[in-house]
């Protein structure tokens, strides 16, 4: 069964064994508004935890997407390049940005579970 | 990810609220501090939908943060010309003009709308930018102490913009549909005086309505009850003005930039160019005669990634030649657009340039402004 963890910077990682799909949360897409462009990482690139791996551009501004855990990028969601609005429509599902091979499972312990993330956004609303 | 200017709150000063604050919140407005006021970036439908709606229908904007004032006294029009390059003496009564407050170096302190209210030229109506209004009013008091400055703090300002603005507003304020572009007329609405200007900041036909604060929300409610009208936030206001190729103070205009560099030559009449008599006239006259070192242009990006304010502009050899002052996604064109400054030799439409975004050059080319044809209300001349 897949499990989803969150960063306090509004990324999520949907974990499937030793890989995880990274995206931005529904709260984040709501704050950004209409997404008009997504810049994805290179497949094969290695990113450290917390490093900017992708960029999401709304009408108003550009925001970097940080990878929640260290690892190699094994796949990117090319559909977002043609239709970035998927991020608004289904941020937590079809709107994932890239998948990483999780280098160090222990890093997952630093992330928020769903209840903790909900508590966080409740303080921002 | 970092969510810029969105969840971060400006705690240095409590922003003010306009008379429409509760309505913005009720309409789902995402409120943000802007120029000292809490204003909606967008409502539930989002910036792109609001932008496109305005281009097709009539968008209602709360621009109450802007400064409104009367300036009056003997020779007010002529004296006011000592601060701006615009032709105010040559303005017919009831007509409005776009101009700028300039400094001694010919840079722009603010841009504004001025209406001459009377034949004698003894009373002017000014609308200035929110972020600059304190300094503007200070300047007027200091430089023109013999004139009376009446700041209209008890008035809100609503803008109704779009191709259906005239027909909708006519139902509520009979007579407005007959107004010509860049003119002001006073109307009574529920017993109060409205100062209605046919002008705007979207490239569309439209009106700006100065309304007493106490009835501003009633007027907004009456207009929003019309099916052709929706509330539009600051986000779409910015994307609409960018498509229309209009300057935003703090971006295209600042204290170092002259009106000639900003390609605002059209806002300075032949008489004012010859006579001068405004701060920085020497620079403006020199630039008109000898040219400028940089000029404002429109930029269309060839790819999908937008370039934002601050991005460097490079020529085909990779040499940095300028900087982007506004940039974003054009909802009407479905592609990224920008404005920025480049040397005149690189300002011809079609010139290939690149915009440096996150260290990478994005292909772009110069295009004529506006990006989207303006549809101001012009009366055919016979």
For B81-115, b/e burial (b = at least 16 CB within 10 A) is bebbbbbbeebeebbbbbbbbbbeebbbbbbbbbb
Tell whether A15 lies on the interface with B, counting CB pairs under 8 A. no
**Minimal Cβ distance to B4: which of A63, A65, A81:** A63
If you average pLDDT over residues A51-62, what whole number do you get?
Answer: 95
Name the token pair of B316.
């085909």
What pLDDT is recorded for position B3? 67
Domain total in chain A: 1
B47 → closest Cβ in A9, A57, A59: A59
Asked whether the CA dihedral B283, B285, B289, B295 is positive or negative, the reply is: positive
Can you list the alpha helix ranges (DSSP code H) found in B225-299?
Answer: 234-243, 270-275, 281-290
Kindly write down the DSSP assignment for every residue of B308-321, as one continuous string: -TT-EEE-TTS-EE
- Residue A8: its chain B contacts at CB < 8 A? none
- Residue of B1, B7, B331 lying closest to A24 (CB–CB): B1
Residues of chain A with C-beta less than 8 angstroms from the C-beta of B238: 60
Residues 6+ apart with CB under 8 A from A1: none
Check CB contact under 8 Å for A62 and B306.
yes
For chain B, list residues with pLDDT below 50: 5-10, 382
Q: The CATH number of the domain where A12 resides is what? A: 2.40.50.100
Is residue B149 exposed (0-12), middle (13-18) or buried (19+ Cβ within 10 Å)? middle
Residue of chain B with shortest Cα separation from A23: B1
Q: For chain B, say whether A64 makes contact (Cβ under 8 Å).
A: yes
Domains and CATH numbers, chain B: 21-65+153-243 (3.30.1360.120), 67-151 (3.30.70.1400), 265-367 (2.40.30.110)
Contacts of A62 in chain B (CB under 8 A): 306, 308
A18/chain B closest Cα distance in angstroms = 23
Q: Are B46 and A34 inside 8 Å of each other by CB?
A: yes
DSSP state of B200: -
Residues of A in contact with B360 (CB under 8 A): none
Rounded mean pLDDT, A2-27: 96
State the pLDDT at residue A9: 96
Note the pLDDT of residue B4. Answer: 59
pLDDT of residue A2: 74
* Orientation of helix B47-56 relative to helix B234-243, angle to 10°: 60
Give Cα B159 to chain centroid, integer Å.
11
A12 touches A22 (CB < 8 A): yes
Tell me the residue range of the domain where A11 lies: 3-124
Tell me, what DSSP letter sits at residue B367? E
**A-chain residue closest to B234, CA distance:** A60
């Amino acid at each position: 069964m897949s499990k989803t963890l969150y960063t306090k910077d509004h990324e999520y990682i949907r974990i499937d064994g030793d890989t995880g799909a990274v995206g931005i949360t529904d709260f984040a897409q709501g704050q950004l508004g209409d997404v008009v462009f997504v810049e994805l990482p290179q497949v094969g690139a290695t990113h450290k935890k917390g490093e900017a791996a992708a960029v999401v551009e709304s009408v108003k501004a550009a925001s970097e997407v940080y990878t929640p855990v260290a690892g190699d990028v094994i796949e990117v969601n090319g559909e977002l390049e043609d239709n970035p609005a998927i991020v608004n429509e289904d941020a937590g599902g079809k709107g994932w940005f890239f998948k990483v091979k999780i280098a160090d499972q222990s890093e997952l312990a630093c992330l928020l579970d769903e209840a903790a993330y909900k508590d966080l956004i409740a303080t921002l609303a | 990810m970092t969510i810029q200017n969105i969840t971060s709150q400006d705690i240095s000063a409590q922003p003010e609220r306009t008379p429409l604050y509760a309505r913005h919140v009720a309409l789902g407005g995402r409120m943000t501090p802007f120029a000292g006021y809490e204003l909606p970036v967008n409502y539930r439908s989002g910036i792109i939908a609001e932008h496109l709606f305005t281009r097709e229908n009539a968008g209602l904007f709360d621009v109450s943060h802007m400064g409104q004032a009367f300036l009056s006294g003997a020779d007010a029009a002529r004296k006011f010309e000592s601060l701006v390059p615009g032709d105010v003496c040559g303005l017919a009564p009831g007509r409005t003009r776009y101009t700028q407050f300039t400094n001694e170096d010919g840079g722009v302190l603010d841009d504004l709308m001025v209406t001459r209210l009377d034949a004698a030229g003894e009373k002017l109506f000014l609308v200035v930018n929110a972020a600059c209004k304190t300094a503007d009013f200070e300047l007027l008091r200091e430089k023109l102490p013999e004139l009376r400055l009446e700041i209209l703090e008890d008035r809100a300002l609503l803008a109704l913009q779009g191709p259906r603005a005239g027909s909708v507003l006519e139902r509520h304020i009979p007579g407005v549909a007959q107004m010509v572009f860049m003119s002001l007329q006073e109307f009574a609405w529920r017993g109060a005086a409205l100062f209605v200007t046919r002008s705007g900041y979207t490239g569309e036909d439209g009106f700006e309505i100065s309304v007493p604060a106490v009835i501003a929300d009633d007027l907004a409610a009456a207009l929003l009850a019309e099916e052709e009208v929706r509330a539009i936030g600051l986000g779409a206001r910015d994307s609409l003005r960018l498509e229309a190729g209009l300057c935003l103070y703090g971006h295209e205009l600042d204290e170092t930039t002259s009106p000639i560099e900003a390609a605002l030559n059209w806002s300075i009449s032949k008489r004012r160019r010859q006579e001068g008599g405004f701060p920085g006239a020497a620079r403006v006259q020199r630039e008109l005669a000898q040219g400028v070192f940089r000029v404002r242009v429109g930029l269309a990006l060839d790819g999908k990634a937008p370039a934002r304010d601050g991005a460097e502009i490079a020529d085909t050899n990779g040499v940095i030649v300028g900087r982007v002052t506004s940039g974003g996604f054009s909802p009407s064109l479905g592609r990224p657009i920008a404005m920025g400054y480049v040397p005149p030799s690189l300002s011809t439409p079609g010139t290939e340039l690149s915009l440096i975004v996150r260290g990478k050059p994005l292909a772009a080319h110069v295009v004529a402004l506006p990006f989207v044809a303006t549809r101001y209300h012009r009366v055919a001349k016979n």
